[in-house]
Amino acid sequence: MSVRLVDGEVEDVELRIFEPPRFFEALLRGRSFREAPDITARICGICPVAYQTSAVNAIEDACGVEVTDPIRLLRRLLYCGEWIESHALHVYMLHAPDFLGYDGAVAMAREHPREVERGLGLKKAGNEILTLLGGREIHPINVRVGGFYRAPSREELRSLVEPLERAREAALETVRWTATFEFPERTIPCELVALSEAETYAIEDGRIVSDQALDIAAASYDEHFAEEHVARSNALHSRRADGSVYLCGPLARYTLGSRWLTPLGREAARSAGLDDECRDAFRSIVVRSVELVYACDEALRLIDHYDEPDAPAVDVEPRAGTGYGISEAPRGLLYHRYTLDDDGTILDAKIVPPTSQNQLAIEEDLREVVSAYSSLGDDELRDLCEQTIRNYDPCISCATHFLTLDVERV
Amino acid sequence: MIGVGNALRGDDAAGLAVAERVRALAGEAVAVRVCEEEPTRLIDAFDGADIAFVVDAVSTGAPAGTVHRFDASGSPIPSLELRSSTHALGIGEALELARALGRLPRTTVVFGVEGAEFTSGARLTPAVADGVARTAATLLEEVAACTSER
């Protein structure tokens, strides 16, 4: 990241991401439509379910297929597992050390072993859902276009109840714990975009809505959002079609949909001091914790409502056309679009991951943070910038000190 | 024995290949696990083990197929970040996390197989495949030594 300050005023902030492009969209061209979920699952080791779900949503849309209720339920349950795993990892191993003044999770674990064990326990509960439904913990292999290769029995799903009940308790403790942190003030001014589904907290599908009256189907995504390549960074930047900045992810989901959390989730949020909306970037850790409560609670509800489907998947016959799919990855919207020919060969693919969608909002926020805290020394400023970036849980928030900060003070 | 890596990224599969080989050669004598991607899973894999061998691909600039051996039992391995990782902890950090929580096996040895080619869809390069075979052989010798000590 480079910052140019002139007389203490920010003139320029640039964030460059070096993760090399991996050309997945080109890799998909010429492959069978049935391969898309397995190929795209490999894009991310933390959120393969998000990639698989957006892929099957898009391909089923292209082929004009609707899946049955039990299959939809299993997809949502699998996705809850991914939210639990991803949020637990981010809250405990990556983000909490920032707030408690540690260099990273290892240093924090030496003084807060109970909390770190709690985070690992939560993560494990998410893993257990993934292992049972996905066939294995990482890169699930049980997901297919039309549903699953094998649907679990009610009995098998019941084996998840006890670990999930424990996880729900741990998630409630997580909310209480993160609520005690100190939060620098940072209000996100931009448009918030999330999925919306009738009477539920949208996860695996939905319409794209915003706090500025956007309400569209995934099929209209390309008319409302544009992706551009910026020379300094390998990550693409998304904007609204009019050029404006938007944010997706936990803050957007919570602000637009907190009323659809379960009573337990809403209560946890209230006791942590959250209102119905939250635009406070640093409190995203509390919102993630509330979503952990919700994901555990929702997973338990889904298990309770599960009836084994007659068939683990519906038949999907290829047809020529374009399909659009979207879902709420733990860190925000994940959009897929596929054009197929009549035998199901993929002719064109477009994937817009949440990190591209949030990149501009992150840069805007960094600019504000640097302006407000420009009197800090370079090291302190770098730590604050890292913490700011981690507020968005992008796919670069990995290493303890991942950020090289060049400050030019003129 | 835990093999770490990504099956679809060329030589990054070295740790997984060692796991496969150890499983084939040692049968049930060695508990073999694989860990693709998210390394905090290592910590759960350690549960109940007194002795653990972790094998991953490394990129240090040494000739392809070079086998590095680190004893992590008493102190951290040289690089905390054995493998560059997109948004999770590295293997070194996962080991240190296990140590901080008192969950690191009494003897923990890390083998790093030097890779050359990490492209999507590539196969193991011949020198690395050779390094995989040597790692498996060394590892099994160490297992035999540990077992006879008991």
Q: What is the ipTM of this complex?
A: 0.83
What pLDDT score does B87 carry? 47
Tokens of B2: 């835990």
What pLDDT score does A9 carry? 84
Q: Which of B81, B87, B89 to mutate to test the interface with A (most CBs of A within 10 A)?
A: B87
Tens of pLDDT along B140-149?
999 999 888 7
Contact A44 B86 (CB under 8 A): yes
Q: How far is B37 from chain A (nearest CA, A)?
A: 6
Q: Which phi and psi angles does A339 have, rounded to 5°?
A: -110, 125
Closest partner CB to A398 (pick from B43, B86, B96): B86
Tens of pLDDT along A180-234?
999 988 899 999 999 999 999 999 999 999 999 999 999 999 999 998 877 666 6
Give the pLDDT band (50/70/90) at residue A340.
very high
Q: Is B137 helix (H, G, I), strand (E, B) or coil?
A: helix
Give the pLDDT band (50/70/90) at residue A402.
low
C-alpha A87/C-alpha A83 separation (Å) is 6
Contact B37 A139 (CB under 8 A): yes
- Would you mind telling me the total number of residues written for chain B in this entry? 150
Give the pLDDT band (50/70/90) at residue A13.
confident
Q: How far is A93 from chain B (nearest CA, A)?
A: 8
Q: Which residue of B has its CA nearest to A390?
A: B87
Across chain A, what does the average pLDDT equal? Answer: 92
Lowest mean pLDDT segment, chosen from A133-142, A244-253, B33-42: A133-142
Q: CA angle, corner B104, sides to B77 and A390, nearest 5?
A: 70
Contact present, A326 and A195 (Cβ < 8 Å): yes
Collect all residues of chain A within an 8 Å Cβ-Cβ radius of residue B33. Answer: none
Local structure of residue B13 (DSSP, 8 states): G
With 50 as the cut, is the pLDDT of residue A272 above it? yes
Q: Which residue of B has its CA nearest to A93?
A: B89
Contact present, A168 and A297 (Cβ < 8 Å): yes
Does the model's pTM come out above 0.90? yes
Closest partner CB to B38 (pick from A46, A109, A113): A46
Tens of pLDDT along B35-84?
876 778 889 889 889 999 999 998 888 999 999 999 999 998 886 444 44
Q: Which of A120, A390, A396 to mutate to test the interface with B (most CBs of B within 10 A)?
A: A120
Q: Which residue of A has its CA nearest to B103?
A: A117
What pLDDT score does A399 carry? 40
Q: How far is B31 from chain A (nearest CA, A)?
A: 18
Across chain B, what does the average pLDDT equal? Answer: 88
Collect all residues of chain A within an 8 Å Cβ-Cβ radius of residue B36. Answer: 45, 138-139
C-alpha A70/C-alpha A211 separation (Å) is 32
- A242 burial (CB, 10 Å; 0-12 / 13-18 / 19+) is exposed
Question: Looking at residues A364-386, what average pLDDT do you find?
Answer: 89
Contact present, A334 and A327 (Cβ < 8 Å): yes
Give the pLDDT band (50/70/90) at residue A60.
very high
Q: Tell me which of A395 and A324 has the higher pLDDT.
A: A324
